[in-house]
Structure formats: structure tokens, C-alpha cells
């Protein structure tokens, strides 16, 4: 079985602006101090449920792998943007720990305006290992 070994080792904290569509899974392949950010997904309800002026519950899924022996405390922030990189909404995931030598999938919800979900085309990501 082939495995993707294209991990970018980056400085702590990591920040990048990327093209992103709500509902897709993005694979950053970023590693900071032995902690790998494997994927994230921001999932919104079906577009037929998006009503102007209303907020909807969205699900945020993060997947990390801690290759160190000690636990790591993680901070992740997303800034959703339109196609021109204008800020729309900020999502800060609750800080969490990943035990040493473990893989962790974290899920949480955020309430986003329907207009933001329809307009988001980019996301500015911030990832920090807080130790």
C-alpha cells in the first residue's frame, strides 16, 4: 500500500492562506515539532437549508498525529474568506491535547451565517503547538 510521505516541516506557528470549499477535506501535510496535521473539514448542511439572515450549525473535523513521546497541546484557528481574500468569519477550535504516539480526530460545531457558507472560497489557517 502506497503512503503519502510529502510532509512539510514548518516553523511554529504555521500560517497559510489556501483555496478551500466548505464541505471538502483538505490535507495540509504539515509537521511542527513532531506533530502532523493530517486533515481538516468544515461541513455545512445541505444548501437548501441555507436561509439569508440565519445561522446554521457546521461541523469542524480536525485530524492530527503526534509522533512525539510526550503529549502536545494544539491550537487551530480558521479565517473564512471570499474569493478576493476578504475576511468573512473566524472559527477558533477549542484547544486540545494529543497524547504522545497517538492519532486524534477532534470534532466540534460552530454556528455560521448562511451567507458566509455560500461565499467562502478561501481559508486562512493558523496552527500552533503550544506544549
Rg over CA atoms, the chain: 15
Indicate which CATH number applies to the domain containing 22: 2.60.40.10
Question: What are residue 42's DSSP bridge partners?
Answer: 60
Tens-digit pLDDT profile for residues 37-94: 999 999 987 766 778 888 889 999 999 999 999 999 999 999 999 999 999 999 999 9
Q: In this predicted structure, what is the pLDDT of residue 86?
A: 94
Residue 90, number of CB atoms within 10 A of its CB: 12
| Structural domain span for residue 82 | 8-129
Does 67 reside within a domain?
yes
Q: In this predicted structure, what is the pLDDT of residue 5?
A: 62
Does 2 reside within a domain?
no
Amino acid at each position: 500500500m502506497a503512503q503519502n510521505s510529502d510532509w512539510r516541516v514548518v516553523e511554529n506557528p504555521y500560517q497559510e492562506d489556501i483555496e478551500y470549499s466548505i464541505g471538502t477535506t483538505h490535507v495540509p501535510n504539515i509537521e511542527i515539532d513532531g506533530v502532523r496535521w493530517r486533515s481538516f473539514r468544515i461541513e455545512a448542511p445541505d444548501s437548501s437549508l441555507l436561509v439569508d439572515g440565519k445561522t446554521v450549525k457546521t461541523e469542524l473535523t480536525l485530524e492530527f498525529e503526534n509522533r512525539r513521546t510526550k503529549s502536545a497541546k494544539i491550537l487551530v484557528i480558521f479565517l473564512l474568506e471570499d474569493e478576493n481574500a476578504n475576511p468573512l468569519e473566524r472559527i477558533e477550535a477549542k484547544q486540545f491535547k494529543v497524547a504522545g504516539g497517538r492519532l486524534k480526530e477532534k470534532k466540534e460545531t460552530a454556528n455560521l451565517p448562511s451567507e458566509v457558507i455560500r461565499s467562502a472560497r478561501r481559508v486562512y489557517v493558523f496552527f500552533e503547538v503550544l506544549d
